[in-house]
Amino acid sequence: MNRVYYPYEEFREDLKILANKIDKPFDAILCIARGGMTMAHLLGEYFDMREVYSVNTIGYEDTQKNESVEVFNIPELKSAKSVLILDDIVDSGDTLIEVLNVLSEKYPEVTFMTASLFYKKSAKIAPDWCVKEATKWIDFFWTVDLKQ
């Protein structure tokens, strides 16, 4: 598959676009680690919001070759009414779906919204806001820059 490098400068501009698209209020940010962490950091600063949390996931194939996702380290959302969930890319959508399931079950009174930089048309779920369709493998700067 073709690969494309995604540099910091492009990320910064895309994140500005994403921030401007988000037209509903939220009072906490929750990123899916590791992919959403840098986004969450910059958006937390941009929205002057200290309630920036992370959640961990592990994806694995079960014996029937279905993708299963385990979600752990779910944060205490305190008094949050509306939470913005962030990930870098919505690929199959399995991770985002399971994160939404687990969080909605634990916090039925909280509204969850989702945003990503990239999405694939084939994903089983579309984020509420996103910036670009992913048509190639993306080498995000946070994945490759320290190795160069």
Which residues would be at the binding site for its own copies (CB under 8 A)? 8, 12, 15-16, 19, 31, 33-34, 37-38, 40-46, 50-54, 56, 58, 72-73, 75-76, 142-147
Shortest distance in whole angstroms from residue 86 CB to its own copies: 11
Shortest distance in whole angstroms from residue 10 CB to its own copies: 12
What is the spatial distance between Cα 135 and Cα 137, in angstroms, rounded to a whole number?
A: 7
41/120 with CB nearer its own copies: 41
Shortest distance in whole angstroms from residue 110 CB to its own copies: 15
What is the spatial distance between Cα 127 and Cα 116, in angstroms, rounded to a whole number?
A: 7
51/98 with CB nearer its own copies: 51
Shortest distance in whole angstroms from residue 78 CB to its own copies: 8
1/146 with CB nearer its own copies: 146
73/82 with CB nearer its own copies: 73
